[in-house]
Every structure is written in C-alpha cells, then in structure tokens.
A and B are shown apart, each in its own frame.
Chain A
Amino acid sequence: MPVTTCPVSQSITQLDETLNSSRLKNPKSRRMVEELRRLLNDIAWGRAGEEHLAFVQSLSQALIDEGPDAAGKAIGTTLQSVLRDHREVFLSHIKTHNCLTGDCVRLVPAPCQMACPAGIDVPTYVNLIGRGQDAEAVEVIRRDNPFPWVCGLICTRPCEFMCVRGRIDQPISIKFLKAFAAERAVSDRRYRNPAQAPDRGRRVAVIGAGPGGMTAAYYLALQGYKVTVFEALPVAGGMMMLGIPRYRLPREVIDREAAMLEDLGVEFRFKTRYGRDVTWEGLKSEGFQAIFLAIGAHESLKLYIPGEDDFPQVIEAVDFLRRVALGDHRVPGKRAVIVGGGNVAIDAARTCLRLGSEEVIIAYRRTRVEMPADVEELDQAEEEGILLSFLTMPKAILGRDDQLTGLLCLRAEMIRKEGSDRLSPVAVEGSEFLIEADTVISAIGQRIGLECLDDLKNLKWSRRQTIQANPVTLETSIPGVFAGGDAVTGPATVVEAIGAGKRAAGAIDRYLSGIPQPKMPPVPVRRGRVDWLEVPAGTKMTLRRPEMPLLNLERRRITFQQVELGYSENAVREEARRCLRCDICLRCGKCVEVCRDLMGIDALQFGFLNFDHPALTDFRLTAERCILCGACAANCPNQALRIIDRGGERLLSYCGTIVNREKLEHCRECDAVLGPLRYLEFLLKRTQGVSPILTDRTLCQACARKQTARAQVEIQPA
C-alpha cells in the first residue's frame, strides 16, 4: 500500500503533542523527547545524515528502557513501531531529501522535477545557470542524466509542460538553458564525470548503446561495476544517432557525451549483434552476472499495400534515417512522398529536402488537427517548403521496369464509427488520385525486433509485442535479465529511456547486492537548495521567454547544419530569472487566504496557484494594496514569503521577487523601527476604538507608554 501520510511528519506531531501535554513529568524524559523532536525535525527539513536514524532508534529505546515516565515510555514505543514499519521512508527522506506525501514541506520537489522522467533537479540547475555557474549546473544535471547536452537539444521537455510559470505566460525555457550550460561546460573544459566508487569486480552486460543502455552503463560504472556495452551498429547513440537527424542533434554532441562513459571505464563492443554474435548464456560464461536489454524499437511497420515489396525505391523511414546518419548522402529521389504524420515522417521529409529532393510531400490520412507530430517540427518543415497532403490514404504503389512512378491514393473523410469517440479516416469510394513520385518512404511506426532475443526462451512479452518488465525495477521474467527503454514501452522519448536506464542501474545493483527491490517508482532527489535570484516584480512580469534564433531558411533547405542556433548568454541569464522557484513555494495558498480573509487586504494576485483553473497573476499588483504587515510571511510554511528590512526600507519577497517595498518609519524618540507608513496607518485604523491614546504614529509603543505615563503624572494632583 502506498504511504499517504508521512510517518516522519506524523511522528513530529505526536512528539509535539506529548511535549505540549502535562504527561511528561520527568525532566530527563522531557529532555530526551525534545532531543528526538530535534532529530526528526532535521530529517523533515532535509539536513539529516544517515547517523540520525540510529540516534532516533537508540534514543527512543532509551525512553522505553530508562525513562521513569509512562508518557515517555509510550512515545518511545510508538516511535520504535513507526521506525520498524516505515524505516525506508525515513531513509528516503535522509537520502533523497524528498517527501512523497508533501507533508514535510521543505522536501517537496518542484513540478518540473517531478515531471522529468529522469528526475533532474530543475530549479537548482536553472538558478545556478542564472548565476553564471554553468559547470556546476551541469554537475547537478549529470547526477540524474548523463546526457545534458543531448537533452538540451532534443528533449520532449515534460518539465516545461508542468512549469508553473506557464500558468502566467510562457514556461521557462528549461531545455535550451540546459543546452547552453552543457555547451559552455564542454567549451570551458569543465564538463567532468562524478567520482567513481571502487571496483566491485562484477561484470554487467548492456545490450544497445542507445540512451537507455548508455545511461545504465554510466550509473553502473559510477557504482564500481565493470560494464560492457554491446552494439550492433558501428557507432554509439542508438535512436539519438540514427533516428534524429543531424540538423536537430549534431553527431559531435552524442560523441562527446558517449566518450564520457569510456572515461569511466565502460567498454563498447560495436558491430556486435545480440542473438547473432553474443547470447546470454555465452555472456554468463564470460563472467557477466546481469544483463540489461535496451535494444530499442528499430523495425518499421509495413504499409501492407500492393507494390510495397516490388520496387527498391520504397523504403522504410527508420532505415532511411539510419543510412543517412551513417554517411549515405545520396538523394533518395527527386520527388519523394513520405507516408505518415508523426515526428519520424517529418524528420524523413526534411532529410530528403536536405539531400536534394526537389519536391517532398507528406501524405497523411487524417487532418492537421489529428497529426501527431510536434507542432514546432511541422511548422519548421512547412517553412522549409515541405508539402502536406491531408486526408490521403495510400492504396497502391505504381511503377514499371523496377522504377517507381507514383503513389496511388484515395481521398479520406473523417467519420465517427459506432461505439467510438474517435474520428476515423474512411476512404471515399472512387476518389483515387495519383501522387507522382520516384521514392516512397513509409513512416507509420516502429516495433522492436523480436528475433534477436530468440535465445531467451522464458522471456515474457506484452500483447503490444514489447518485453514485459516490472516498470519499477525493470526485472523481466528471467532472473538477472533486465529490460528498459523503447523495447519495453514501445517507441517513446529519449528522456524516458534515460530514466529507465537509471532505474535499471539501481535495480541491477540491488540484485547483485542481494537487497530487496522497491515496490514503488523512485522519488526524484533534491540536489540542493540554491538561494533564489532577487528580481523586482516589474522585471519578473515583463521578462519574456526568448525566441530561439534559427538558421536562415536557404541554408536549412540544403545543409544539415543545426537549425536552432542557441540562446545568447544574456538571454540565458535573464530567462533563468523568470523561474518562480516552485521548489520553495508549494502553492498551498495560505498566504493568499491570510491576506484576503484574515487581514482583509487581498493584495496577492497569485492566480497561478491553481493547476486546473489558473487566474490572473500579476506580482506588480501586490504593491497597490500590500501594507507589509508580514502576515503572509508569518504563515508561509516554507519561508517562500519573507519580510526583509534593508537600506531603510521594508521589502516583501516572494521567492526572490520583490513584490512590495516601502520606506521604514522610525520612532522620533528612540529611533526604533516602526514599520512602513501604510502599516502604521492600518494599525491606527484597527486600534482606534480600542486605544484612542495611540494617535501619534511616530512613537514606538514603549515611548508612547512613557509619554502617556508622564502626562498622567503631570495631571495628577501632588
């Protein structure tokens, strides 16, 4: 059963109740309970070491054994029982600095970090980038993802979809910030591997040098395992290298990051195909004790139309992209038709254009709205001159004398079939038309090549023809055999494969160390709590997400040069300042409630707090009504809001955004700080009926009392 309330937080509440009651009579017991409270607080605040747990254990035992107090014995027994049942949760708080339930408010990860399949600590590295600490930012990223540069260029960025800033205007450009930092770190020769654990003398085989396989190799090597990666192709990278064209991801980027693995001692055996050159039995006899299958999904689905197998000019998109990636830059045909509507279809079309095809058409059987490809990719393809033919269903491939001449198609219409809520394309009778072409590329999906795994007789498969693996541990039906990435999920994203590789490394380590496997997916680890960047509210609201400069159109159409040219340094530093620091503000809304309902001021226009229905947010509006009373800051459970007196002013800071500032007034007698004028006026208004004597707002309470006392002495008869 998943834990829905945090045992750490619950224990603290119980200790508090005991301390606040009169049940603890003995001073020694009270001191011990107070000490336990401090230790648990450290755990809940992410500042505990592993020795904390041992102290909690022994101290609670001492309460039972030595404490003469019944209440002490009772709380000691309760704590012992909680530790016995939830030891892993306590350890997870200490090791990951995370609280899954969110009860330990200091340890709740930001939505961007939670969204990342690799669990990267986004707020920490974005803020390091904002400070110009690019190499340090890359170090933070590489603790969870060995490919920051690759992901900075091609990640599908789930983090940005969950970015809270997106509820105000545009999400932080997390992906491109990462690319900038990685490029800087490499350029400055400060891109380094973390420290490696001593050699454990144990060997692990990884099949496939794609993102999943290489990530598993990286983390296993860091843990001291001797890792060998077997790859059928002559290069590392898998789908990153073969499926993603060079104008999106230059080869040097993959080569650089793959080379970092070799620095850790990872051995690559290229041109070695599993099932043909190596088998699990053979590897075991070589001394390998576990294997991770990350073979990807490299086989194309067929069109199943007449003529498909009759002409050599009918090619599969994945094969085509692979050939180009490996250096075959011949023009596939002057007139190329690509069948499909996904990202691979777009990549194949743009690649044809760059190789010299004069006309490139994407034939898709549904409409633009249903097209599954990324909108940005589609926009760029259309800018480059790719033509789109919607509601077009291929019927047959025509040609003569081994030469393809065209794709016979049918016009389709979208019809809702009975019992389905989806519109489906249905061919219109008699609507045949011909698209003249000398090459047809099918891009209608991929599957995994099952044949290579024939030797693993007991390997179980899902009904989707993917390897069946436990999603938490990636264990397959065969002990010692783990699997992840596209081979398990079906064609998915690079960052998901990276997340799977990391999980697999952890699971393999547990398997080889004889430690029980976890039941729940891993929790992202907080890597730090970097100070926020101070930004005035006006700047925070007016800073805009920068546009990505693109290569000029002419060059895009004829070369494989990188299309996205990267942000300037200034744009990067400014973009980082837009971050709201959701690792600190938990969006509980207490501040808004206190300001509106208790103080009756309603100064905080924080509409972004609501995930489902975000309303207006404008940090600048706070200054219109805020009296700097500090009620919001006093009630913030995580110190996201702070009142700061500085340079003769009182400031209200929301995670570094200065939402209000006012000049401080001082007592005219003793110069003590009184607060800003608006606050004093508010107090005056609120206390008028109660204490009419406090009409002089330039005196502090003490001086006002003295003056009143003096006045009373003067008017008293002697």
Chain B
Amino acid sequence: MAFHRGQKVEIFHKSEDESWEEHMDQLVGRHGIITDPDTTKNDPDALIEVSVEGKGTHRFPQDCLRLLAD
C-alpha cells in the first residue's frame, strides 16, 4: 500500500520494527492523517509521518498503518 499525504489511517497494531517506541503503544487504535509520506521513492520500508488525532505527529513504520475509508 502506497500512502499519500492527506489520507486517513488507523494505527492498527504495534510494529515489530526497531523504530517503534514504547510511548507509541498508547497510539494503537487511534486515527490520524498522513502528513509526510515517503516523498522520495515510495519505499515500503520508509518511516512516514502521521498526525494522530489529539496525540501529536509521529513517524511510523508502514506495517502498523491501514487506510480508513472516507
């Protein structure tokens, strides 16, 4: 799944990626908007920026994100 700026996503589970931090556990289940996808080369391994509703902006590995229908 290639993510684009402005898409709504859900952090649907924890990621096993090394970039997943303990404080991100509380964000599982929350919804947000992609604010900075990988703007270089559509790399599925790139960390992408998501603004989570009420919880600030963070970079997540893509395997913990899923798109929400509009």
Q: Judge: A and B partners, yes or no.
A: yes
Binding site for B on A (CB under 8 A): 2, 4, 102, 111, 114-117, 156-158, 161-162, 301, 340-344, 366, 370, 372-375, 421-423, 443-446, 462-464, 471-472, 489-493, 496, 519-521, 524, 611-612
Q: Is the CB of B51 within 8 A of A342?
A: no
Q: Is the CB of A111 within 8 A of B53?
A: yes
Residues of A with C-beta under 8 A to B35: 115, 156-158, 161-162
Complex CA distance for A714 and B21, rounded to whole angstroms: 82
**How far in angstroms is the closest Cβ of chain A from B28?**
12
Q: Is the CB of B56 within 8 A of A374?
A: no
The 6 closest A-B pairs by CB, nearest first: A158-B35, A342-B40, A115-B51, A445-B40, A372-B39, A161-B33
A-B residue pairs in contact (CB < 8 Å), sample of 30: A2-B25, A2-B26, A114-B51, A114-B56, A115-B51, A115-B56, A157-B35, A158-B36, A158-B51, A161-B35, A162-B53, A342-B39, A342-B40, A343-B39, A344-B40, A372-B41, A374-B39, A422-B1, A444-B40, A444-B41, A445-B40, A445-B43, A446-B40, A471-B21, A472-B23, A490-B47, A519-B23, A520-B23, A611-B31, A612-B31
Complex CA distance for A157 and B53, rounded to whole angstroms: 15
| Complex interface residues of chain B between 15 and 40 (CB less than 8 A to chain A) | 18-19, 21, 23, 25-26, 31, 33-40
Complex CA distance for A343 and B8, rounded to whole angstroms: 22
Q: Is the CB of B42 within 8 A of A372?
A: yes
Number of B residues, CB within 8 Å of A: 38
Q: Which of A344, A472, A492 contacts B36 (CB 8 A)?
A: A492
Judged by DSSP, the binding face of B is loop
Q: Is the CB of A162 within 8 A of B59?
A: no
Residues of B with C-beta under 8 A to A445: 40-41, 43
Residues of A with C-beta under 8 A to B45: 464
Residues of B with C-beta under 8 A to A471: 21
Complex CA distance for A111 and B56, rounded to whole angstroms: 8
**How far in angstroms is the closest Cβ of chain A from B18?**
6
Complex CA distance for A38 and B8, rounded to whole angstroms: 42
Residues of A with C-beta under 8 A to B49: 158, 492-493, 496
Q: Is the CB of B40 within 8 A of A162?
A: no
Residues of B with C-beta under 8 A to A520: 23
Q: Other CB < 8 Å A-B pairs besides A157-B35, A162-B35, 4 of them? A: A2-B25, A114-B56, A342-B41, A492-B36
Residues of A with C-beta under 8 A to B59: 489, 492, 496
- Contact A611:B53 (CB < 8 A) given known A340-B41, A373-B39, A422-B2: yes
Q: Is the CB of B19 within 8 A of A462?
A: yes
Complex CA distance for A230 and B46, rounded to whole angstroms: 29
Residues of A with C-beta under 8 A to B42: 341, 366, 370, 372
Residues of A with C-beta under 8 A to B33: 161-162
Q: Which of B6, B23, B57 contacts A117 (CB 8 A)?
A: B57
Q: Is the CB of A490 within 8 A of B46?
A: yes
Closest A residue to B45 by CB, please name it.
A464
Residues of A with C-beta under 8 A to B51: 114-115, 158, 161-162
B55 within 8 A of A: yes
Residues of A with C-beta under 8 A to B54: 102, 111, 114
Complex CA distance for A469 and B3, rounded to whole angstroms: 26
Residues of B with C-beta under 8 A to A464: 19, 45, 47
Complex CA distance for A423 and B57, rounded to whole angstroms: 27
Residues of B with C-beta under 8 A to A161: 5-6, 33-35, 51
- Contact A158:B8 (CB < 8 A) given known A342-B39, A496-B49: no
Q: Is the CB of A156 within 8 A of B36?
A: yes
Residues of B with C-beta under 8 A to A491: 40
Residues of B with C-beta under 8 A to A342: 38-41
**How far in angstroms is the closest Cβ of chain A from B17?**
9
Complex CA distance for A520 and B53, rounded to whole angstroms: 17
Closest A residue to B37 by CB, please name it.
A372
**How far in angstroms is the closest Cβ of chain A from B9?**
11
Residues of A with C-beta under 8 A to B44: 422
**How far in angstroms is the closest Cβ of chain A from B53?**
5
**How far in angstroms is the closest Cβ of chain B from A413?**
16
Complex CA distance for A521 and B59, rounded to whole angstroms: 13
**How far in angstroms is the closest Cβ of chain A from B37?**
6
Q: Is the CB of A612 within 8 A of B8?
A: yes
Complex CA distance for A519 and B18, rounded to whole angstroms: 17
Closest B residue to A491 by CB, please name it.
B40
Complex CA distance for A157 and B6, rounded to whole angstroms: 11
Q: Is the CB of B40 within 8 A of A340?
A: yes
Residues of B with C-beta under 8 A to A444: 40-41
Q: Is the CB of A374 within 8 A of B5?
A: yes
Closest B residue to A614 by CB, please name it.
B70
**How far in angstroms is the closest Cβ of chain B from A707?**
55
**How far in angstroms is the closest Cβ of chain A from B30?**
10
Complex CA distance for A691 and B62, rounded to whole angstroms: 65
**How far in angstroms is the closest Cβ of chain A from B55?**
7
Q: Is the CB of A116 within 8 A of B57?
A: yes
**How far in angstroms is the closest Cβ of chain A from B59?**
6
Complex CA distance for A422 and B34, rounded to whole angstroms: 17
Most buried by A among B6, B35, B46, B49: B35
Q: Is the CB of A341 within 8 A of B41?
A: yes
Residues of A with C-beta under 8 A to B18: 462-463
Complex CA distance for A123 and B43, rounded to whole angstroms: 35
Q: Is the CB of A158 within 8 A of B57?
A: yes
Most buried by A among B31, B38, B40, B59: B40
**How far in angstroms is the closest Cβ of chain A from B67?**
10
Complex CA distance for A116 and B49, rounded to whole angstroms: 11
Residues of A with C-beta under 8 A to B43: 445
Closest B residue to A496 by CB, please name it.
B49
**How far in angstroms is the closest Cβ of chain A from B61?**
10
Closest A residue to B7 by CB, please name it.
A161
Complex CA distance for A405 and B31, rounded to whole angstroms: 50
Complex CA distance for A554 and B23, rounded to whole angstroms: 51
Closest B residue to A102 by CB, please name it.
B54
Complex CA distance for A373 and B4, rounded to whole angstroms: 9
Q: Is the CB of B53 within 8 A of A421?
A: no
Most buried by B among A117, A344, A423: A117
Residues of A with C-beta under 8 A to B34: 161
Complex CA distance for A117 and B39, rounded to whole angstroms: 18
Residues of A with C-beta under 8 A to B26: 2, 4
Q: Is the CB of B57 within 8 A of A115?
A: yes
Complex CA distance for A313 and B69, rounded to whole angstroms: 46
Closest A residue to B53 by CB, please name it.
A611
Complex CA distance for A374 and B34, rounded to whole angstroms: 13
Closest B residue to A116 by CB, please name it.
B57
Q: Which of A343, A421, A521 contacts B56 (CB 8 A)?
A: A521
Complex CA distance for A396 and B39, rounded to whole angstroms: 25
Residues of B with C-beta under 8 A to A521: 23, 56, 58
Q: Is the CB of A372 within 8 A of B40?
A: yes
Complex CA distance for A373 and B36, rounded to whole angstroms: 10
**How far in angstroms is the closest Cβ of chain A from B39?**
5
Complex CA distance for A369 and B21, rounded to whole angstroms: 31
**How far in angstroms is the closest Cβ of chain B from A439?**
20
